């Protein structure tokens, strides 16, 4: 789950001072997610709560030849 911020959202975050809080998104424990690095999906997983924090538990990795083809 990811999205690019609009120019208006970026401006609003910058006007708020030196700390930019993440936009609020509705997520549920168990939702599936893609793990991306530099815009390339490298793994898949789902959201879990561990030690009071929302985390991603990786359940699979993308093979080298599949990267970028999704």
Given a cut of 60, whether residue 1 has pLDDT beyond it is: no
High-pLDDT (> 90) share of the chain, %: 17
Give residue 54's Cα distance to chain centre. 12
Given a cut of 80, whether residue 43 has pLDDT beyond it is: yes
Q: What is the mean pLDDT of residues 46-56?
A: 87
User: Measured between alpha carbons, how far is 2 from 53 in angstroms, rounded to an integer?
Assistant: 19
User: What does the pLDDT read at residue 18?
Assistant: 63
What single DSSP character describes residue 63? -
User: What does the pLDDT read at residue 7?
Assistant: 84
User: Measured between alpha carbons, how far is 1 from 12 in angstroms, rounded to an integer?
Assistant: 22
Torsion of CA 65, 58, 36, 50, to 10 degrees: -170
* pTM for this predicted structure: 0.51
CB 67 within 8 A of CB 41: yes
């Amino acid at each position: 789950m990811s999205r690019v911020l609009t120019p208006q959202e970026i401006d609003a975050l910058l006007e708020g001072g030196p700390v930019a809080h993440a936009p609020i998104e509705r997520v549920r424990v168990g939702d599936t997610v893609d793990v991306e690095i530099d815009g390339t999906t490298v793994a898949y997983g789902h959201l879990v709560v561990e030690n009071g924090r929302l985390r991603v538990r990786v359940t699979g990795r993308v093979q080298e030849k599949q990267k970028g083809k999704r």
